[in-house]
Amino acid sequence: MRNSAWHMEALRAVAALNLPDGWIAAGFVRNLVWDSLHAYPSMTPLNDVDVIYYDAANIDKAAEKLYEEKLRANLPEIPWSVKNQARMHIKNGDPPYSSIEEALMNWCETPTAVGARIDTEGKIELIAPLGIADLVDGVCRPTPLTLGKPEKINEYRERVKSKRWAETWPLLKIS
């Protein structure tokens, strides 16, 4: 990640917002690793850059939009998507999440449930409550919580198919 000026610029932009427990997650991290595993010379384009944070005191969607506007003003070429994980349980039909970690554990697949940020000393931190083994080994599988819900299994399968991961990264082991 340190070797990608684009990723570092995005991480710095998000850090400047001082979001409560803010991270860039999902494809931002996943695609970078999978591109590296496939020795791709350039970055696979992202549909969006998922910025997540946790603020139970303000779950108004307007706050998310304000953060997106600030990011777009700074880096308009990046397709920002900002979501407060303190409210995403509503959309996902889950009980309320108590933290970013719990929200990530409720995501569909293990290699997506990873985030990155820059700390106050300029070091990259990762958050991966389910670990990074699947991500770095090129394994895509449902999270344990996804496995426990039939409707989530269907969502997982649809995501894998619609995002065309097997075609984009043919070395992946998808279960």
CATH code assigned to 5-174? 3.30.460.10
Place of tokens 């969607």: 61
Average pLDDT for 111-135: 97
Express each pLDDT in 16-58 by its tens digit: 999 999 999 999 999 999 999 999 999 999 999 999 999 999 9
pLDDT given for residue 27 in this prediction: 98
pTM: 0.95
Q: What is the DSSP letter of 142?
A: B
pLDDT exceeds cutoff 90 at 92:
no
User: Tokens in use for 162?
Assistant: 């619609």
What percentage of the chain reaches a pLDDT higher than 90? Answer: 94
Express each pLDDT in 112-121 by its tens digit: 999 999 998 9
- The answer to whether the CB of 149 falls within 8 A of the CB of 173 is no
pLDDT given for residue 91 in this prediction: 86
Q: Which amino acid is at 17?
A: L
Give the C-alpha distances (Å, rounded to integers) separating 124 from 75, 116, 136: 20, 7, 17
First to last CA, the chain: 27
Q: What is the residue extent of each domain of the chain?
A: 5-174
Place of tokens 């998310």: 64
pLDDT given for residue 151 in this prediction: 86
Residue 109 main-chain phi, psi, to 5 deg: -125, 150
